[in-house]
Amino acid sequence: MDKIKVTGGTPLFGTVPIGGSKNASLPIIMASLLTDGVLEVLNIPVLADIKTLYEILKVLGVRITHIDDHTTSFNAAHISELTAPYELVKTMRASVLVLGPLLSRFGECQVALPGGCAIGPRPVNFHLAALEQMGADITIEEGYIKASVKGRLKGANITFPKISVGATENTLMAATLADGQTVINNAAMEPEITDLALCLKAMGADITGIGTSCLTVNGKDKLGGAKYSVLPDRIETATYMIAAAITGGKLTLTDTRPGDVTAVSEALRKMGVEITETDDTITVDGRDRNLVGIDIVTEPYPGFPTDVQAQIMALMLTAKGGSTITETIFENRFMHVPEMQRMNADIRFINDTSVAIAGESKLKGAPVMASDLRASAGLVLAALAAEGDTLIERVYHLDRGYEALEAKLSACGANIVRLHEDKEETKTQDTAQNGTTAL
C-alpha cells in the first residue's frame, strides 16, 4: 500500500487551483439515472470515489463517455440491471444515492446496505423512511435494501428528524419523477445540495426553495439531458487555506467560491490568519505566526463543517493558547487524535464529543496511520508543520477526496513524496509540472 512521506518546516507559497467538488459530483452523476437523455458533467475531480461510482453505473448499464480529464457524459437510456452490488457499495457509502433515482424511474431496485465506517455507524434510516412515505415498499434481505413501488412514487410531506445531506439528496432526486408535490422539511442546505438541485432543474425538474431548509418539488413525468458544471470543492479549498496558515506561507486558491467557506474563513480570521477574497479566489497569508486558539463546534451548513475538523485541529496545535473542538455530526470522528498525539500533539478528551487542544505543541514527525479521508488531510497538514519526517500510511483514503494532493503541495514548495508499494520514492514535482494527477 502506498505511503506518503512529508518533511515538515517549509512555508508554502504559490497558487493552488481548486477542483470540482467530490460531494457534489457524486449525486449529480447519479442524477443521470433519472433520464434517458445525456447528462454531460463538467469539472468532475479525478478521484477514487468517482471511479467507484463509474464502476457502479457501468454495472447498471450506463454508457459513460470521457470527453476530457474533468468532463464526462452519462447515458442511462439502456439500464440493464437494477442492483448496486456489495463489492462496490462497501467501498463508498454514497453509493446508496442510486436508490432514489432508480426507484423513482424504474419502480424497483436493490442496493447493498452500506456497513459502518471509520467515522461512525452512519445509518440510512432517514433515506428509507422518506422513500416509504412516498409509497415505496422497502425490505432488508441478505444485506440488500430491496425497494419497489406499485406505479409511481407519490409526492409527500417529509420532515427529517435530523439534518442529513445524503437523505436530502436521495429524496430530492426521487421526488423529481414522483406523482405530485413533495415538500422536504429540515432539508440540508449544503452548497452540494444546491448544486444538485440546480443540475436537476437544468434537466427539467421543478424545484423551489433551493438553498433553504424547505425544498418543494413538483414531480414530472420525465426529465431530459443537460450540461452542468460542478461547483468548486469547498473542503479542498479549506484544506489548502489551512496549509498556508499552518506552514506560515501564503497561498492563493483559484477557481473557488469564497462564499461557500465562510465559517472556515471566520474561524481562521479569529485565529489571526489574514484572508483576502475576490469572486473566485482566496488568498491566505499565514506569515504572521501569532495565531491564537479558538473554540469551534461542527454543525450542518452554514456552520463549521465536520469535514474540516481534523484539518483545523492541526492548525490549533500550532496556535498560542488553548482551543476546543466539539464534534456534533459524527460519533467517531476523532480517530486522528491518537495519531496526532504520536506527533507530540497535546490533545485531551473532555468527553466523547469534545477535545481540548493545548496549542504550541512542538510537532515532531512520526509514522502515523490515516483512518478516513479528512483525518488523513489533518495528518498531512500536521506533518507539514512538524519537525522531521512523517510517514503516513493508508493514503488510499486521501486518494478518495484530494486530486493530485502531492503535486499541488509540492508545486508550492512542500517536501512531500509518495512511496509506492515497492518503496520507490516518486518525485511529484514532475507530475505538478505536466499537470497529470498523482492518483
Interface with ligand EPZ (CB under 6 A): 23, 26, 94, 120, 122-127, 162, 164-167, 188, 192, 306-307, 329-330, 373-374, 401
- Which residue(s) pair with 227 in the sheet? 40
Q: Cell digits for 47? A: 478521484
* Cβ neighbours around 193 below 10 Å, total: 24
Q: In this complex, which beta carbon is closest to ligand EPZ, that of residue 249 or of residue 401? A: 401
| Least spacing, CB of residue 165 vs ligand EPZ, in Å | 4
Q: Output the smallest distance, CB 22 to ligand EPZ, in A.
A: 6
Q: Look at residue 392 and give its three-state secondary structure.
A: strand
Q: Which is nearer to ligand EPZ, 191 or 258 (by Cβ)? A: 191
In this complex, which beta carbon is closest to ligand EPZ, that of residue 188 or of residue 245? 188
CB of 351 to ligand EPZ, least distance (A): 17
Residue given cell 484572508 in the structure block: 275
Grid coordinates of 326:
466539539
Helix axes 309-316, 234-247, angle to 10 degrees: 10
Residue nearest to ligand EPZ (CB): 166
Which of residues 191 and 225 has its CB atom nearest to ligand EPZ in the complex?
191
CB of 170 to ligand EPZ, least distance (A): 9
SS3 161: coil
d(CA 406, CA 189): 31
User: Smallest distance from the beta carbon of 121 to ligand EPZ, in angstroms?
Assistant: 6
CB of 222 to ligand EPZ, least distance (A): 27
Closer to ligand EPZ at the Cβ: 165 or 291? Answer: 165
Angle formed at CA 273 by CA 269 and CA 276, multiple of 5 degrees: 80
Of 373, 340, 377, 375, residue with least CA distance to 359: 340
Q: Which amino acid is at 306?
A: T
255: left (phi over 0), alpha (psi -120 to 50) or beta: left
Least distance from C-beta 103 to ligand EPZ, angstroms? 16
Work out the number of other CB atoms within 10 angstroms of the CB of residue 229: 16
If you write DSSP's letter for every residue of 166-210 in order, what string do you get? HHHHHHHHHHHTSBSEEEEET----HHHHHHHHHHHHTT-EEEST
The DSSP secondary structure of 251-307, one letter per residue, reads EEEES--GGGGHHHHHHHHHHT-EEEE-SS-EEEE--S---B--EEEB-STTSB-GG
Q: Break the chain down into helix, strand, coil percent, rounded to 5.
A: 35, 30, 40
Buried/exposed 99-126: b ≥16 CB within 10 Å, e otherwise = bbbbbbbebebbbbbbeeeebeebebeb
Q: Is 199 annotated as catalytic?
A: no
- For the CB of residue 178, give the shortest distance to ligand EPZ in the complex, in Å: 19
Query: Cβ closer to ligand EPZ: 159 or 433?
Result: 159
Catalytic residue among 117, 199, 214, 412: 117
Shorter beta-carbon distance to ligand EPZ: residue 3 or 374: 374
| Distance, CA of 196 to CA of 378 (rounded, Å) | 28
Q: 231 or 366, CB closer to ligand EPZ?
A: 231
Residues catalogued as catalytic: 117
